[in-house]
Structure 1
């Protein structure tokens, strides 16, 4: 049981629920429902998310020994080699699931896997880190769309949100700064407005998108504004958690423009994400 808990902590297992909506957003925007073999795409997305988390802890094992000794590798609950092996198996599983769907999806999941490795191993600590992480989320949305151009705007919005959250997350240990927090809050406001722009299937679809976008802006923006006033480490961590959890209301807003049924299914995720976050940290 203790090893299973270590695995859950390594992969931030419950936080992968925030990745389920990525492929749903892409599929809704492209008009390509997640049915038949395409139902494997959310599975692929989750597997790549878990792989990225495991690879992250492998790459950060020396830093975590000093800053986050409670994590599985520095605490000795899992070895570094085991973590790397878990990441490889998960990445391979995700790639295989997408390849079953089609050649476009196979190419996109390969690009996504490369982006995940690039972020964790090369770019994370440098100035390009937030952009690299944003590319991962954008590619995940495009995976659900099979690369269709119709999903590019939605992918860009989720990427922009991810970029700002990643920039804020750099202050989780030592604190952030008011400029970074203000930029994140501004990004949240712009993304919320853009999420309800463009074509909607009906007035009811737009109303649902507006409600979800308002939920997203209130949930994420409030903590980011608090970080502007008090940019210490605990507030930065709270803003990061809110940003991660806020992925789901944003996904609901983007999906509701085209597909109310799928948006309703995504609306069931936030309570689960919130509850699971009390058991395994998302950051």
Structure 2
């Protein structure tokens, strides 16, 4: 998805470039491949639980969905290869994770973990395509993957309802992620974190330093976006915990999907990618429309 690649680019400490666009194209192809493959793999279950979906309703034939998944996967890998070997090295396990989730892992305990891993790899795809490196983006990938794991866990009971444990855990995860992305040292680029950790003791290091240009803006923007992330999910998660019925659980899942965009923007902002963060935040209306039509599962 665009926000993943852009957040990965910012986390790697670089502005978007032409290879970032290739990463976005690859991400979109692999995501749509997963959607088509998911419908194909779940066609029998959907015939009972979600008969309005394209395959059970007869609007699309199963063979066409499987063919689309194969073609889109190939296109996604081709675009990643065009962006360079580092991007392909991330896109290949991402594609494998998508197929493994849809065909094998989705209905197992490893399903949410696989979905979280796929989201983290998608962010790393942006970093790898843009800069050829992923190390600086690993922490952002882990944070985004953790959010996705929590949302996917809630989504597993959206058809029948269930226990309040999953939405409560997702609420706690949101609070933890909000704390982590707004932590002072976590908001510093990696090189500056290392420098801060090795400052020598004494009067010279104790002297206040003049604020760096743009640093205060970055801090305020990161805090505001993190607050938007937390606010998007808090009430729906609480409602689903108090009454874990299918309608309220589905609303909680939709909120979790919508919250992905402010989280992506927060991750970009904390890496001092102010322009990239604002660009991602501008995708919020699109994400709201998308969440109404798409389920995590």
Q: Distance in 2 between matches of 1:220 and 1:149?
A: 29
* 2:85 is the counterpart of 1:103: yes
SS at match of 1:171: coil
Aligned equivalent of 1:154, options 140, 153, 169: 140
Paired residue for 2:151?
Answer: 165
Aligned twin of 1:221? 234
Encode CA deviations 1:217-248: one digit per residue, 9 max, x unaligned: 01112211111101011011000011011100
Counterpart contact for 1:252–1:266, Cα < 8 Å: yes
- Map of 1:120 onto structure 2: 102
The alpha carbon displacement at 1:276 in A equals 4.8
The RMSD of aligned alpha carbons is 1.3
Q: Distance in 2 between matches of 1:148 and 1:77?
A: 41
Match of 1:211 in 2: 224
Match of 1:15 in 2: none
Q: Which residue of 1 aligns with 2:170?
A: 184
1:282 shift after superposition? 4.2
Give distance in 2, aligned partners of 1:104 and 1:226: 43
Q: 1:93 to 1:184 in 2, by over 3 A?
A: same
CA distance in 2, matches of 1:20, 1:35: 13
CA contact (8 A) 1:168 1:176 kept: no
Aligned pairs for 1:263-282 within 5 A: 263-278=277-292, 280-282=293-295
Give the number of the structure whose alpha-carbon radius of gyration is greater.
2
Q: Distance in 2 between matches of 1:275 and 1:209?
A: 24
Q: Matches of 2:156 and 2:227 in 1, distance apart?
A: 26
Q: 2:65 aligns with which of 83, 93, 96?
A: 83
Q: TM-score, normalised by structure 1?
A: 0.90
> For residue 36 of structure 2, what is the aligned residue in structure 1?
54
C-alpha contact (below 8 Å) 1:196/1:254 kept by paired residues:
no
Contact 2:171 2:234 in 1 (8 A): yes
Structure 2: gaps spanning 5 or more residues: 190-214
- Give the Cα–Cα distance (whole angstroms) in 2 for the partners of residues 281 and 113 of structure 1: 20
Aligned length: 264
Q: How far apart in 2 are the matches of 1:138 and 1:277?
A: 19
Q: 8 Å contact 2:15–2:273 — kept in the other structure?
A: no
Shift in Å at residue 206 of structure 1? 1.4
Q: Give 1:176 shift.
A: 2.8
